[in-house]
Chain A
Amino acid sequence: MTDISMEGAGAGRQRRLDVTSDAARARIRRRYRAESRFKAYGIAALTVTAAFLALLMFDILRNGLPAFWQHSLVLDVPVKADVVDPAGKRETDAIRSADYFPVMKAALDNAIPGIEGRAASKQLSRLLSTGAPDGLRQMLVADPSLIGTTVKTSLMLSDDADLYYKGTGTRVESRTSQSAATPSGLKGEVTILASSNEFAGELKTIKDAIRERAAALTNEAARVERASQGKGVERVTQLRDQAAVLAARYQQPGAAEALDGRMASVLVAINGGLVKATKIEASGITGDVLLPLKSQDEAKPGTWQVVRYLTPEADRKVSDQEVAFLERLREIGAVRNGFNWNFFTSGDSREPELAGVRGALMGTALTLLVTLLLCLPIGVMAAIYLEEFAPKNRLTDLIEVNINNLAAVPSIVFGLLGLAVFLNFFNLPRSAPLVGGLVLALLVLPTIIIAARAALKAVPPSIKEAALGVGASHQQAVFHHVLPLAMPGIMTGTIIGMAHALGETAPLLMIGMVAFIVDVPGAFTDAATVLPVQIYLWSDLPEPAFQAKTAAAIVVLLGFLFLMNGAAIWLRKKFERRW
């Protein structure tokens, strides 16, 4: 479509590039549009990727960061000598192996006095973790003179208590009273009578809830009738009867109502104590004392509160009694929120609050060390041989093709190989970092060989020729000149390979690194687990605290990865030489 302009007849045709005609201008505009479209695609792709990445990081951090903080109680603990050191000899072993439960219970009883009854008492002591005395134990071993005195120390809370303080238990609402009220007793079952219809609002809420429940039952009955077409008569009648019973209740707005676990709890905080309502009517409640009252005197209006725990008891993990204790502990200022160092210093545990990643981190570090020590030298040497020294024949081609294929083999196959050869044939210890490292080295080797070959190929041949011209042998030329220049590329291949190995779970499951390992591994032949497997195991456990720990372990894994990559990039920059 180029216009040919003729300069003078017969002077010889000249083809000039046409930039001024309409057709040409349209072409130029089309080209600009195509270029900006391409640029837009690129930016869109980057934005979408960045958005997904940001979403992923945000979600992981949101789920995982709470697990890095742990609540504990700071209490005065009376260290009774006859419990902690009955023999009186202040021996380390005796102090360490004593049963600290009575001491803990004494500390809690001091914080919330007056709790009687086995059920309530048990719930109070179970607020603490089984590992709560550990800090105290170490203090006493270090300084036995503290035995017999009262020590103020921090005690770890159990996972449910910790989660409650993190806000997952229930919301607590309280409103100040407008009338006077008189309790009928100090503990056990009491009645609280108000001077006016103080509880009318709460009663109405309950009646409304009952009406809704009845309506739901009626709807359900109608649906079953329609769906079963006359065959589900029994079920329909049952539902209708239940609805009728509820209807009878809410059709009497003034009648007293019994509360059950499916409704929000109503409590009365009066005279220094807390009463949970089991029956409520407009002018008073009957209920169980959760925290003992100090007196039976009439409480003036404004000095007592009506408290509601909004999440029904059936829907939460902490009972009303436990919530009462936890709120009281918070009121007396005993609760501290501190960084959860325990997450990094202890190994795995069945108790969620005590579980940590130290074992998995050590296992990962040992396994990756074995992997690196094996696959880096072997991979680089193999690449050098294939690239520089191997004769160019069919055997070499065959080897090359197979190395490329190996890079694409599913990782679980390497696990099977490890199981069959390393565990069964060589009888190496199961679940050890040595075997894990061997399996991962096989996995990562093809990647490193391919990357190293590409790096070696990229070194300009003029440098090798210069070395040969000075009288270096082929081997000297490769190792003194080509290899150092190929180092940045080799480092990159290693980074990719090691990052791949860091996250591998399937092959390690096959060689048995799936056991519940509590001890931190110290040697290459100790039983160990790795971080990805730890995450997998924790994600399966039912306790809600483990969900946060799973996300936190993922955060640690990502942090480990960034650290490794950062170190490798620093190494690569250090070796980089421009030619």
Chain B
Amino acid sequence: MDMSTIEQAKAMMTPHIGSAPQADIKVTARDVNVYYGEKQALKDVSVDIPARSVTAFIGPSGCGKSTFLRCINRMNDTIPICRVTGKIEIDGQDIYDPVLDVVQLRARVGMVFQKPNPFPKSIYENVAYGPRIHGLATSKAELDEIVMSSLEKAGLLKEVKDRLDDTGTGLSGGQQQRLCIARAIAVSPEVILMDEPCSALDPIATARVEELIDELKANFTIIIVTHSMQQAARVSQRTAFFHLGNLVEVGSTSEIFTSPRDQRTQDYITGRFG
């Protein structure tokens, strides 16, 4: 009552930061700017990502959504000309703090890429690699258990359980992507970033991955970049709309798609551009 009025007032005054009163916030970003050399790719992006839910980033090509996603697990560090300013916190901890070990960060924040990229090793090895290098298993039996449960959670175990020694690259596209998801969840991350995970898959494989995302959200915070609005509508609880490097609007998915506040959002979802 009082709270909701205050919340609504807040929402009206600061349209860029959507607040999710029912869940706690996992990732917060404040005034993030990203430059590729001289060119600025993101301008003053601030957003809150709630825990254990799916947040979708939508927008036309080149609007900076993938760039912002890659800031969250500091993958942009591998690009020499990329410069990030501003603050991103996960569970209140600044991830750009120089003291922080970026390798540990990437174990807490997993990533699934647009084109499935399993290692050219066996299926078992693909999933076991992460736990092994982070020392998550003390014996072979424990490692087996982690691998099996990850494959199970990714919905792949039944299909591959009798050919775990076959190479990962021999699977179909959809199976490879689910293998990459299994690989990402094997290290028990808190956040999973997905950069257009279904864009290289056929509709049936896409449906299976979307089902999987829906199951995973119970345990993981998922941020998914997608250029399919229908997918965002199906899969996410909150949606953020990016345009030309600006975060235009963020809110609950139903709000964004039925009654967006910004004209640009309206134009995008009705297909007038992008």
The docked-state distance in angstroms from the alpha carbon of A577 to that of B168 is 12
Which among B80, B117, B119 is the interface contact of A392 at CB below 8 angstroms? B80
Return B242 CB to nearest CB of chain A, in Å: 22
Q: Is B118 interfacial (CB-CB < 8 Å)?
A: yes
Contact present for B103 and A472 (CB under 8 Å): yes
Given A462-B115, A579-B120, are A471 and B130 also a contact pair (CB < 8 Å)? yes
The docked-state distance in angstroms from the alpha carbon of A469 to that of B117 is 11
Contact present for B117 and A465 (CB under 8 Å): yes
Contacts of B117 in A (CB 8 A): 460, 462-463, 465-466
Contact present for A473 and B169 (CB under 8 Å): no
Q: Is B197 interfacial (CB-CB < 8 Å)?
A: no
Contacts of A468 in B (CB 8 A): 75, 78, 106
The docked-state distance in angstroms from the alpha carbon of A463 to that of B116 is 10
Q: Is B107 interfacial (CB-CB < 8 Å)?
A: yes
Contacts of B75 in A (CB 8 A): 465, 468-469
Q: Is A226 interfacial (CB-CB < 8 Å)?
A: no
Contacts of A462 in B (CB 8 A): 113, 115, 117
Contacts of B187 in A (CB 8 A): 470-471
From A392, A466, A468, A472, name the one whose CB has the most chain B CB atoms within 10 angstroms: A466
Which among A467, A471, A473, A578 is the interface contact of B119 at CB below 8 angstroms? A467
Number of A residues near B (Cβ < 8 Å) is 20
Contacts of B78 in A (CB 8 A): 465, 468
Contact present for B113 and A465 (CB under 8 Å): yes
Contacts of A476 in B (CB 8 A): 133
Type the 1/0 row for A314-349, where 1 means its CB is closer than 8 Å to any CB of B.
Answer: 000000000000000000000000000000000000
Type the 1/0 row for B88-101, where 1 means its CB is closer than 8 Å to any CB of A.
Answer: 00000000000000
Contact present for B104 and A466 (CB under 8 Å): no
Which among A392, A480, A579 is the interface contact of B129 at CB below 8 angstroms? A480
Contact present for A466 and B103 (CB under 8 Å): no
Contact present for B169 and A579 (CB under 8 Å): yes
Residue of A nearest to B180 (CB): A466
Q: Is B183 interfacial (CB-CB < 8 Å)?
A: yes
Q: Is B163 interfacial (CB-CB < 8 Å)?
A: no
Interface size class of B (residues with CB under 8 A): 20 to 34
Q: Is A481 interfacial (CB-CB < 8 Å)?
A: yes
Type the 1/0 row for A470-492, where 1 means its CB is closer than 8 Å to any CB of B.
Answer: 11110010001100010000000
Q: Is B184 interfacial (CB-CB < 8 Å)?
A: yes
From B119, B134, B187, name the one whose CB has the most chain A CB atoms within 10 angstroms: B119
Contacts of A472 in B (CB 8 A): 103, 106, 129-130, 133
Contacting residues of chain B (45-102) with chain A, CB-CB under 8 angstroms: 73, 75, 78, 80
Residue of B nearest to A469 (CB): B111
Contacts of B80 in A (CB 8 A): 392
Contacts of A460 in B (CB 8 A): 117
Contact present for B113 and A469 (CB under 8 Å): yes
Return B243 CB to nearest CB of chain A, in Å: 26
Q: Is B251 interfacial (CB-CB < 8 Å)?
A: no
From B113, B117, B130, B180, name the one whose CB has the most chain A CB atoms within 10 angstroms: B117
Q: Is B18 interfacial (CB-CB < 8 Å)?
A: no
Return A391 CB to nearest CB of chain B, in Å: 9
The docked-state distance in angstroms from the alpha carbon of A480 to that of B180 is 17
The docked-state distance in angstroms from the alpha carbon of A196 to that of B72 is 119
Q: Is B155 interfacial (CB-CB < 8 Å)?
A: no
Q: Is B110 interfacial (CB-CB < 8 Å)?
A: yes
The docked-state distance in angstroms from the alpha carbon of A460 to that of B112 is 16
Contacts of A463 in B (CB 8 A): 117, 119-120
Return A467 CB to nearest CB of chain B, in Å: 7
Contact present for A470 and B184 (CB under 8 Å): yes
Residue of A nearest to B130 (CB): A470
Given A476-B133, A578-B120, are A470 and B106 also a contact pair (CB < 8 Å)? yes
Return A471 CB to nearest CB of chain B, in Å: 3
Which among A466, A471, A481 is the interface contact of B134 at CB below 8 angstroms? A471
Contact present for A485 and B106 (CB under 8 Å): no
Return A485 CB to nearest CB of chain B, in Å: 7
Return B197 CB to nearest CB of chain A, in Å: 12
Contacts of B118 in A (CB 8 A): 466
From B118, B133, B187, name the one whose CB has the most chain A CB atoms within 10 angstroms: B133
Type the 1/0 row for A554-579, where 1 means its CB is closer than 8 Å to any CB of B.
Answer: 00000000000000000000000111
Residue of A nearest to B193 (CB): A469
The docked-state distance in angstroms from the alpha carbon of A144 to that of B134 is 72
The docked-state distance in angstroms from the alpha carbon of A468 to that of B130 is 10
Residue of A nearest to B106 (CB): A471
Return B118 CB to nearest CB of chain A, in Å: 7
Return A393 CB to nearest CB of chain B, in Å: 11
Contacts of B133 in A (CB 8 A): 470-472, 476, 480
Contacts of A467 in B (CB 8 A): 119, 129
Contact present for A471 and B120 (CB under 8 Å): no
The docked-state distance in angstroms from the alpha carbon of A485 to that of B187 is 24
The docked-state distance in angstroms from the alpha carbon of A460 to that of B180 is 17
Contact present for B113 and A471 (CB under 8 Å): no
Given A462-B115, A462-B117, are A469 and B103 also a contact pair (CB < 8 Å)? no
The 10 lowest CB-CB distance pairs between A and B, nearest first, are A471-B107, A469-B111, A470-B130, A471-B106, A462-B117, A466-B117, A579-B120, A473-B103, A577-B120, A471-B103
Chosen A-B contacts, 10 in total, with CB atoms closer than 8 Å, are: A463-B120, A469-B112, A470-B110, A470-B130, A470-B183, A470-B187, A471-B106, A471-B133, A476-B133, A577-B167
Given contacts A465-B117, A470-B130, 15 further A-B contacts (CB under 8 A): A392-B80, A463-B117, A465-B75, A466-B180, A466-B183, A467-B129, A469-B75, A469-B112, A470-B106, A470-B187, A471-B104, A471-B130, A577-B120, A577-B167, A578-B169
